[in-house]
Chain A
Amino acid sequence: MLLDADNVYYRELNKQIRALVAKGETEFEIINVRGQRYIADGLDGDIKFLIRGVPGQDMAAFMRGPSIRVEGNAQDGVANTMDEGLVVVNGMAGDVVGYAMRGGKVLIRGDVGYRVGIHMKAYKEKFPVLVIGGKAGDFLGEYMAGGAIILLGMFSGKSGDVPICGRSLGTGMHGGVIYVRGEVPVEQLGPHLKTEPVDAEDMALIRANLELFCKEFGVDLESVLAEPFQRVKPFSHRPYGNLYVAC
């Protein structure tokens, strides 16, 4: 189903999508998207979206199952509290991508903004994964509780001297893991965190997700795997356990 979002208000567009989904439509191509908020939010099941343009805030929030491919840049709040499904952005994305994400995968080809992947969490078979092809801003993976973030730093619009991630990487994380291709400047790490080399189990997870990333964006997998990866893991399950304890 082809939908033209040119000058269509976000409520109207989302109403159309929901009505079509209710009728059993499972494939959408939406063209001329410019800032419409809340696309595919809270949708369930096996539905495919191809979005051309720049979707607005909170795309794929609370989404449970559908897959979205964006041909263009995404704005802020992509995959907010997403439960299941796949988001592929063939461009860059704004701030707070994957906030409190609970499952599914988000693949961003280029750079992402600030506070990406904060509060991500995992439970039993739910294991969210966020792959970033470019560089990230400050607070990547802050307060992370589960899942994995893979940061490549390869497809960035930023100049070479800009570090792969911003300040306060993984601050307060108490679960999950952040994988970084290449080196992380030590001053960019959150308090008490350190990088360590990855093991075979880590590499299996990285390879599996990068296969998907490389397939989606037509990138050679071996060239991505040519550099060693580092991992950042929480130093404690309860980093603030004693914060309010008298001592």
Chain B
Amino acid sequence: MKAPERYYDFQKDISGCGVFGVINTKRELIPGSMPIQAMCTMHDRGNGLGGGFAAYGIYPDHADKYAFHLMSETQDGLDKAEELIKQFFVIHESQPIPTKPTPVIKNPPIVWRFFLSPKQGTDRPMWRMNDEKDYVVNVIMHINKKTPAFVFSSGKNMGAFKGVGFPEDIAEFFRLDEYKAYIWTGHNRFPTNTPGWWGGAHPFTLLDWSIVHNGEISSYGINRRYLCEHDYECTLMTDTEVVAYELDMLVRKHGLSLRMASWVFAPPFWDEIDRMPEEQRKAFEAMRMVYGSALLNGPFAILVSDGNCLMGLNDRIKLRPLVIAERGANVFMSSEESSIRDVCRELDTVWAPKAGEPVIVKLEA
């Protein structure tokens, strides 16, 4: 077969996803305009098929309630989800997520938010043994599986906002310049293996966890089956979903620290383990055996938050870029230094973290 005429002149999108995050360790609020502008600088890392942000500290008046963000193609789907929510939660407030018509955002779903407290006791017998957070996770999995609506954010005093479009357009649609937060993450998507649809945009969240990801989780199949054995069901058709659920399982359920969870995601190579002192070697061998199915294979640069910290982590051979920078109480993590410089010209330090080693920045106590 002959190549098309002048094929070398074709316009081609050359991209990978882009991620940006910022945390103010003193909980001073950062306006949405900052992460939006940073994502604009990395416009060309995405292709308009997904953009999104997570923001912490945005609902101080409802800080003790679970803030559920739902999306549904139809009112009927949303109604079905609301029925379930009413059954399992006390609804304190129910309202559309504020949006504004944005010409480039075509056919958005209905987006709705609820502020909720759980109604344990009237639920299914098998859920009664669970603590409150397990209960909330169970209901989310139930809604996402049984109704046409999706819960895409469920933490306290935080929210995810995402959809199909460039991040700056999604930000305009959700009026994110009107929010202030002490931790922000942003994502610009260039979908490779899975459809660019509203639910599949980043961030992925569960309870207070949120994650944005540049790369591809090649181990998605194994991770997904492993999670399924632990009652986490993937419904959003994007590989990154497994990271949110694995974090919840490893850290909240199994009590691992974020540092240890990072070793599960990106463990040392066997030859490195072989060179460790015996006690350490045994610990890592055990960890790789117990959590082999939770290992994330493939290229990734991820930004994770639980509301108390911001963590950046690369795969162990650094197949995606990640840059960290500090300025005063602000710590930035991004795919490109230029996006950080665009929102903060002077930086105290800039460095690229080592592959597989997390950078964890906590809020001051």
Query: Which positions in A face B, CB cutoff 8 Å?
Result: 10, 33-35, 37, 53-57, 73, 75-76, 92, 94-95, 111, 113-114, 137-139, 157-158, 162, 166-167, 187
Contacts and interface: CB of A to CB of B under 8 A. Distances in A.
A182 B341 CA distance: 35
Contacts of B50: none
B351 A157 contact: yes
A34 B342 CA distance: 7
Given A94-B321, A137-B318, A35 B355 contact: no
B274 to A, nearest CB: 10
B285 interface: no
B317 A114 contact: yes
A35 B42 contact: yes
B109 to A, nearest CB: 31
User: What's the interface size class on B, roughly?
Assistant: 20 to 34
Nearest to B352: A113
Contacts, number: 64
Given A33-B338, A94-B337, 7 more contacts: A34-B338, A35-B338, A56-B338, A111-B352, A137-B318, A137-B355, A157-B349
Interface in B313-356: 317-318, 321, 323, 336-339, 341-342, 349-352, 354-355
A113 B321 contact: yes
B271 interface: yes
B119 to A, nearest CB: 49
6 contacts: A35-B338, A53-B341, A73-B350, A76-B321, A111-B352, A166-B354
Interface of B (DSSP majority class):
mixed
B321 A95 contact: yes
Contacts of B336: 35, 54, 56-57, 75
B317 A10 contact: no
Contact of A75 (B318, B337, B342, B354): B337
A138 B355 CA distance: 9
Nearest to B340: A54
B20 to A, nearest CB: 12
Given A34-B342, A137-B355, A187 B321 contact: no
B275 interface: yes
Interface in B18-49: 41-42, 44
Contacts of A33: 338
Q: 3 closest Cβ contacts across the A-B interface?
A: A35-B338, A114-B318, A34-B338
Given A113-B321, A114-B317, A137-B318, A54 B338 contact: yes
Contacts of B354: 137, 162, 166
A34 B344 CA distance: 11
A75 B339 contact: no
